[in-house]
Amino acid sequence: MPHKLYDFDIAKLEIYLQDNIADFGSLNSMIKFSDGQSNPTYKLSTNTGNYVLRAKPPGKLLGSAHQVDREFRVMKNLANTGVVVPKMYHLAGDENPLGAMFFIMEFIDGRILWDPRLPDASHQQRSQYYAEMNQALATLHEVDIEACGLADFGKPGNYFVRQTGRWVKQYRAAETIKDAKIDRIIDWLNANMVDDDGQVSLVHGDYRMDNMVFATDETKLIAILDWELSTIGHGLADLAYQCMQWRLSADAGLGGLGGIKREEFGIPSEADYVEQYLTARNLPPIENWNFYLLFGIFRLIAIVQGVIKRAIDGNASDPKSKNRMIKVSGHLSQLANDLINQ
């Protein structure tokens, strides 16, 4: 059954999809995925196959958030680049039976691994899963943005200056209480801003294991999902964002690798994972690594704060998410302040 977030006629939606997607068939079910805090996502089952519908949430939204049209465009343009993405079928504008912009994409039949510790995998399989993610990230950052039609997908240069300003603005717009720890992070980022080194890449923006689909019977990565935050930027932003998991504890609410003996499990150390990436891209060692980590942590704090604000306002994808996200924000702000204190 459709989720109560939207008030619409499912029969009219079915007709719309049949008119816009070849061989769509008859809609048998529309079931909301329980995961995902940003854009509500549904599995559509028809007599001809399965699809995924991903939509803007209803209600008043932050100006630059929930841009499902950008998500649709980047995945469509990445087809045949070596980056594994689902097939895109249709982008619907705001005027449609659902009442919110959405897109339809291929349903990828595989596994999403929610626990980065991979408790059900062997030592060798864990190493392979992490190697797959690492190589996929390097492949993404080597994509020719001109050749795939994404040269105008963001502003090249001065990425960290612009993005720090953007996420401070996003955080302030969603701020519910004053937090001295977060103010300290913002001040530190502005005081320790890195120089622009000229690197320009397409970045995913939320690169982590649970935004990927792996094959059911092997460790092969078959799709990267959730491109809402993708833009033209700097590859180290994605790398540092993913490496947060190495520092987060398992009870942080996001899944972390902190506190486990990674070498005993076949999971690379943070240093080894970074080195694999640099080798794959033929890049020099990273200076000011803590800046990139702190930038990624603050950016995630701002995203989490948006989820908290939407829950308070009553238009969150998962209305029960507020308390968990408050806990996550606390862990992140403490992690960032610990880095500042080093």
Structural domain boundaries in the chain:
10-106, 123-341
Output the average pLDDT for the chain. 91
Ramachandran sector of residue 198 (left: φ over 0; alpha: ψ -120 to 50; beta: rest):
left
How confident is the model at residue 142, as a pLDDT?
98
Task: Place 323 in a pLDDT band, splitting at 50, 70 and 90.
Answer: confident
Task: Read off the tokens for 298.
Answer: 């603050």
Residue carrying the six token digits 């080798």: 279
Contact 54, 73 (CB under 8 A): no
Just give the CATH number of 123-341.
Answer: 3.90.1200.10
Neighbours of 149 (CB within 10 A): 13
Pick the CATH number of 10-106 from 3.30.460.80, 3.55.40.20, 2.40.37.10, 3.30.200.20: 3.30.200.20
Q: How far apart are CA 235 and CA 310, in angstroms?
A: 29
> For residue 34, what is the enclosing H or E element?
none
CA 60 and chain centroid, separation: 22
| Bridge partners, residue 232, by sequence | 202
Render pLDDT for 126-147 as a digit per residue (tens, 0 to 9). Answer: 999 999 999 999 999 999 999 9
How confident is the model at residue 243, as a pLDDT?
96
Render pLDDT for 156-188 as a digit per residue (tens, 0 to 9). Answer: 889 999 999 999 999 999 999 899 999 999 999
* pTM as predicted: 0.90
Residue 6 has pLDDT above 70, yes or no: no
Residue 265 has pLDDT above 90, yes or no: no
Contact 174, 64 (CB under 8 A): no
Residue 80 has pLDDT above 60, yes or no: yes
Task: Place 82 in a pLDDT band, splitting at 50, 70 and 90.
Answer: very high
